[in-house]
Structure 1
């Protein structure tokens, strides 16, 4: 089954947004001046949050484990629409603009429906400059799929980026930079404050509050679940000497962090909102894209531990050193 859940009050929305990231959804809302009532949001079931989407009038939740066949993609590219896509096609074909990600399971099919897409940043992957081989690009093009994800397909006519990293110069003519500071400041007010987390005012904290922002390293098959848990447990135990630490998991994570701590913030709050949270003094991560927020609030320390301690992470993301020498001790006794 492709569609898991849907709520559509307006079948004639002008815009379609297809993403699998709450961060990208928030960026889209900022770019479009909070006019989200004229948008149909199509998101994966692994980021769906009833608390957030109850504030949105038009959305479709799709099964992210579903993968269309190459033949399905090809048929859609020549406008022979298989029955299983009729409902989505009937809605998308009426829209004026398609926004979103071009690397998701249904991206090629949706591009075939509309003919063009405006790309919305999806974190660090938009700045890593990793290209597909020419043979893969050719095969994907022949069947009508996105020839090369992350903006290289000729049907991607604009890319909204926040300037978190070094952009690929070959895409410069498509890139429109978003004011990162203004975007981050806007998140806490979006969707009636749905992305903002508030700490209990009734609880007394003996130590200052720190956030450990985790990443979907096992979900994306960069590490095993056990390896990921071992890394974050190690970090947690050492930081707890100095801080009251709360884990803030990535929205796509399914890891049960209750096995290492009871201080857990629900996945569907955006880590970027904690930059402006007066209760927080430090935010830690391995190499999350939100490290780009480090200059937004001089009252909060934002530290990334990097990848230097783990060969699998180095191979995948490159060698990243700890951003603060004061925290080198976290991994000084063992390589994980």
Structure 2
């Protein structure tokens, strides 16, 4: 086996893992730090990895064992990662842990619209300035060894590069660090063997998608973890999606459930023929394998934009949903729809 440990990754989502695999696909040389919420089904397919879990229980023994664990991680990996490429999902306590405790060549990976949002950056910086309670301060300083709060989303001086796909205008504050990649071009540049190797990590067999390819007039609904993230109740979320389908008189739909969702849409949408596309892979893989849909519907998942030119896209937004509007603002005000319609993404 080839020596691993030439490139390192802190991975928080399936999408960020997929981007990393497109960029660095010599798997024997990669080492992954996964958050505790990451898909176990996918994680088991990668050999070189460690799971790091958030410390939540406010007990002395938990803090002590947590502090020991994170110091052991630093002891084991500080020299190995020094001056090496380290791809991180930025904007979490774990990214702060790595930025504070390692001297690597940090590269931030895109994960949705947040990477393009000055508003999100300003919110994070404002939160960082606030005084935190004693237990939070102890956890941050003692357990994780976070002495300084670095600005997120690649703004930090410790981040040398930001990998984006250019789905939205790039903020001036990060523009000099940004490298734009084209997912489709990266995928097509890989050998068939490498493509299959990546697909196997997500437990995908190309043959199993042939049925989807051959079906016509398919409608795809991309759902989001609105109840799981505490934005609204499970009943409210189901009601939104049920109304979306009923208002458009959709009798049959394919649903790509967000990885964090636990909703049983087949049970909840009984008057509609529902096909569930398994959730433990990024939806971008569908369009890369030429699985197209006549229509793609979403509230505000940017993954829908990858199907541009391959079918109608209905990007509903947040303006008609008070709780979404309160949490995310009016998505339309980010000019996402105008940019999409003008063909700039």
Tell me the TM-score range normalised by the shorter chain.
0.7 to 0.9
| 1:105 to 2:93 alignment | yes
**Corresponding residue number in structure 1 for 2:320:** 309
Deviation at 1:13, TM superposition (A): 0.9
Deviation at 1:279, TM superposition (A): 5.8
Relative to 1, partners in 2 of residues 1:82 and 1:13: Cα closer, same or farther, differing over 3 Å?
same
Mapped contact 1:16–1:39 kept (Cα < 8 A): yes
In the aligned structure 1, how far is the partner of 2:38 from the partner of 2:12?
7
For residue 83 of structure 1, the aligned residue among 50, 65, 68 is 68
User: Which residues of structure 2 form unaligned runs of 5+?
Assistant: 133-139, 339-345
**Corresponding residue number in structure 1 for 2:35:** 44
Mapped contact 1:137–1:147 kept (Cα < 8 A): no
Instruction: Name whichever structure is richer in helix by fraction.
Output: 2
**Corresponding residue number in structure 2 for 1:159:** 162
1:3-48: CA deviations, max 9, x gaps? Answer: xxxxxx988512221121111111111122x122211112223331
Deviation at 1:227, TM superposition (A): 1.7
**Corresponding residue number in structure 2 for 1:273:** 285
Mapped contact 2:74–2:102 kept (Cα < 8 A): no
**Corresponding residue number in structure 2 for 1:6:** none
In the aligned structure 2, how far is the partner of 1:10 from the partner of 1:228?
47
User: Which residues of structure 1 form unaligned runs of 5+?
Assistant: 1-8, 76-80, 325-336
**Corresponding residue number in structure 2 for 1:62:** 52
Deviation at 1:139, TM superposition (A): 6.6
For residue 282 of structure 1, the aligned residue among 274, 295, 301 is 295
Aligned residues: CA RMSD: 3.6
If the length of structure 1 is used for normalisation, what is the TM-score? 0.75
Deviation at 1:163, TM superposition (A): 0.7
In the aligned structure 2, how far is the partner of 1:134 from the partner of 1:238?
40
1:94-127: CA deviations, max 9, x gaps? Answer: 1223211222232222222213421111111111
Q: 3-state SS of the aligned residue for 1:267?
A: coil
Deviation at 1:165, TM superposition (A): 0.9
**Corresponding residue number in structure 2 for 1:244:** 252
**Corresponding residue number in structure 2 for 1:256:** 264
In the aligned structure 2, how far is the partner of 1:283 from the partner of 1:305?
11
Relative to 1, partners in 2 of residues 1:228 and 1:185: Cα closer, same or farther, differing over 3 Å?
farther
Deviation at 1:183, TM superposition (A): 4.0
In the aligned structure 1, how far is the partner of 2:57 from the partner of 2:156?
19
**Corresponding residue number in structure 2 for 1:329:** none
Alignment: residue pair count: 300
| 1:13 to 2:5 alignment | yes
